[in-house]
Amino acid sequence: MTSLEQVRQLSTIDQIQVAGLIFGSQQRAKEVKQFLADCEKIPEVQTNADFYNWNRKKQFLSKDKQGFSFMKMINHQVDDMEQYTGPMIYSATTNHYGVYLAMVVPAVKILGTDEQIKAWLDDLIHIRKAACYAQTELGHGSDIQSLQTTATYDKQTQEFVINTPTIQAAKFWPGDLGILANWALVFAQLVVDGTNYGVQSFMVQIRDEQTHKPLKGIEVGDIGPKMGYQVKDNGFLKFDNVRIPKFNMLAKYISISPQGKVVKEGDPKISYASMMMMRKLLNTVYPKAAAISLTIALRYSYTRQQFTNDKGVENSVIEYQTQQHKLLPLLANLFAVVLSGNVTSKFVDLNFAEVQKGNFSHMNACHSLLCGTKANYTHFVVNCAEWCRLSCGGHGYAHYSGLPSIYQEHSPNVTLEGENQIMFLQLARFLLKLLQTSQKHPEKIPEQFSLFKRVNEILSFKCDQFQTSNILSLLESSVIHLITQTGMKMMQEIQGGLNPKAVWDYKLGTSLWESANQFIEYYKFVCFQNTILQVTHKQTQVVLTNLLNLFGVTILLQNPIALLENEVVTQQTIKQMRDEYENLLTVIKPEALSLVESFCLADGGLRTTIGRADGKPYEYTYDWAVNENSINKIDFSNAVNQLKNCRPKL
């Protein structure tokens, strides 16, 4: 069996510099690594090896000690999103109050007045007021403007009346609602004097803070088991004309006079601020789960040996090109996702800093970019987990491998906080607007979308001979051709008699999706490329550049149709790309283990028998099956004897 230590010694990269890129700085990487190492010593934060034999009730209760131990480790800095990184990497599943801390707290800080922040924030941070984010309803999810819960202003009492008028209006799916929350940040249609002023947010108490019993007019509970998120108490909530004070509507950007006059300020998208912060979390923290998948799969691929070579010696499965084809492009994509996520995170922070000053100029670009990256990244994490599981053969199916749980726990992220296809369509709408802007006012195009300043130049680009130096130009060309073709198709359909909404809904869906996704792949490449410039260690720069090129070539080979249709490339160019792709697999293979181990993951957080740091997959797998599996401690003899005594009736 190949020793993982031997593989590590062959690597030429500076892991400290790579970790610094991953976590934003070498100091932050050091802090995360230390946090994960500290977790190894604390029994309360470990996930029991028998966890997936337990029923849902026992799984849920087991998270209490783990969650509060994590809070103690981060000194209760629950309003600092950076602090979530360690607990979310180490925890096997979602944590109690995770949605509340990631969404409700930022919403109050961004949308609340100074008086509201003073009244609620301290109680929220210390979980005296544990509030869920009650937006999604049975009948509407991504279509927020069509939510049916109402908040009707009563001028006589200076109160809002919160009501669930139909079964479709029942709040359904909010995390932390089913069991934990005693308050809810409710999104409802604001109605004043019979006029609907759109969806606004309201702080509503739903349970008694002492007894935890539902208050009058409240029907609330857990929705039941799901695929993934088994320890997350996603809930239902109905209101029967529940009255709350006028003060409880988050009012930094909207106000109502005692007489019922409504005044709105700023960009309407600010009401989605907490969703944008959650998407930032999905972009920066959750992709680390793909690093867990790849750490397990790559370590196993170096230690697992199958079939002999021409010298009669068994090969490690990573030696086979098919195994490299499964895993190494995923590794390249992981770095593209994580490094571009860091760039996006800074843009989100800049946007909200400017919003606090009354500058909303970045909102559209920030919102659109977050939509596209959320959709692309969450799909990648789930797809990565599945391919890593498949790459580990039979052992990948076992929960002890650590891989099935990653797939299950992260599958919901594809849908929650914005269904991915809807997210891509929102980005595509923005790209079409940029295409129009590029014709007359290219100076107004945001920096993150700067390729739209060079539309004509990009459309004229041709590539007869492929070189890695052409990858960026080819990605740009693919994006601009796709979005240009989509715009032309839209105009043709409108000129043919269809109204714009019908064209959008029924004729352009796949073209819009493809254009938006391809833009995000381009964006990831640019961010990855720019981040490499920070590296001072020459050989590390070489290795990361090879990894970047593998990512770029993979994307181009996955979808070359637009390039071929527009004669940007030839069949010979595609063949040259394939040759380079195969060469890059060979070049990156010796460095893959050290690259993925730059994420500093601890064995306890991996929750695996086949991908531990010491490279002993068989010893741990057999030990857990024999000693950690509670099924083996149950006497089934009576049940087996009953089965034996069954006789078929002829």
Per-residue tokens: 508: 């352009």
Cβ neighbors of 169 (< 8 A, separation 6 or more) are: 137, 138, 139, 147, 148, 149, 150
Per-residue tokens: 496: 């043919």
Helices (H), 319-454: 321-356, 363-391, 403-410, 420-440
- For residue 361, the tally of other CB atoms under 10 A from its CB is 13
Contact yes or no for 563/485 (Cβ under 8 A): no
Contact yes or no for 254/263 (Cβ under 8 A): yes
Per-residue tokens: 323: 């195994």
Most distant pair of Cα atoms in the chain: their distance: 90
Residue 417 known to be catalytic = yes
Q: Kindly state the helix (H) or strand (E) to which residue 264 belongs, with its residue range.
A: strand 262-264
Kindly tell me the sign of the dihedral angle through the C-alpha atoms of 120, 126, 129, 135.
positive
Choose, from 137, 417, 514, 591, the residue flagged as catalytic: 417
Q: How far apart are CA 4 and CA 21, in angstroms?
A: 24
Torsion angle in degrees (nearest 10) through CA of 43, 46, 50, 54 = 100
Q: How far apart are CA 521 and CA 332, in angstroms?
A: 12
Q: How far apart are CA 387 and CA 461, in angstroms?
A: 35
Contact yes or no for 402/608 (Cβ under 8 A): yes
Helices (H), 199-320: 273-284, 288-303
Q: How far apart are CA 204 and CA 406, in angstroms?
A: 34
Q: How far apart are CA 23 and CA 372, in angstroms?
A: 22
Per-residue tokens: 240: 């029967």
**Residues, the chain:** 650
Q: How far apart are CA 258 and CA 570, in angstroms?
A: 69
Q: How far apart are CA 320 and CA 554, in angstroms?
A: 18
Long-range contacts of 615-622 (CB under 8 A, 24+ apart): 615/1, 615/2, 615/3, 615/4, 615/5, 615/299, 615/302, 615/303, 616/303, 617/300, 617/303, 617/304, 617/395, 620/400, 621/395, 621/398, 621/400
Q: Give bridge partners of residue 161 from the DSSP assignment.
A: 152, 243
- For residue 500, the tally of other CB atoms under 10 A from its CB is 11
Per-residue tokens: 451: 């390729």
Kindly tell me the sign of the dihedral angle through the C-alpha atoms of 495, 500, 504, 505.
negative
Between β-strands 131-134 and 183-192, what pairing exists: parallel, antiparallel or unpaired?
parallel
Between β-strands 183-192 and 242-245, what pairing exists: parallel, antiparallel or unpaired?
unpaired
Per-residue tokens: 148: 């049916």
Instruction: Round to the nearest angstrom and report the end-to-end CA distance of the chain.
Output: 55
Contact yes or no for 226/89 (Cβ under 8 A): no
Q: How far apart are CA 469 and CA 472, in angstroms?
A: 7
Where in the sequence numbering do the catalytic residues fall?
A: 417
